[in-house]
Amino acid sequence: MDDNEYPIVQLSWKENVSCFDDEESFNIIGGAVSGFALFECVPGWHFEDPIGGDDDVRLWRSDQGHFCKRKNVIADVEKVLTLARIYFETGSYQAVQTECLKHTGGQCRVRVNRPSPKS
């Protein structure tokens, strides 16, 4: 994986032609140079380390690109692989969150964005 030619990996537990067809797919974007963002396509689970800050980071440097906040970036590839393995084995974002908290001593959190109810 790099942040230019091969910037994205998607994991899905559903039988789809593409992970883009699975709104719950586990997405990893980035590369060793810029770091990695981990998130659910929809409804919006994503990794967040509050000590990372709100500076914008570009993780995908070719075509459309991908921007996120520094607090959504993991620099340690071993942590990324561990969290991806947990999702691959369980298909559970709760299991990923538990592992995330274990690895960082409670320094990180994962947040689920839920759409606001329509008026």
Only one residue has tokens 């797919």, namely 25
Residue 22 CA: distances (Å) to CA of 6, 16, 41, 54: 20, 7, 8, 28
Query: Which of 43, 27, 34, 24 minimizes the C-alpha distance to 2?
Result: 34
What DSSP assignment string belongs to 34-95?
TEEEEEESSS--EEE-GGG-S-EEEEE-STT-EEEEGGG-B--HHHHHHHHHHHHHH--HHH
Average of pLDDT values for 3-18?
80
What letter would DSSP give residue 32?
T
**Distance from the first to the final alpha carbon of the chain:** 42
Return the domain boundaries, the chain: 8-111
> Which pLDDT tens digit goes with each residue over 47-63?
888 788 999 998 887 87
Which of 37-41, 70-74, 82-86, 114-118 is least confident?
114-118
pTM of the model: 0.81
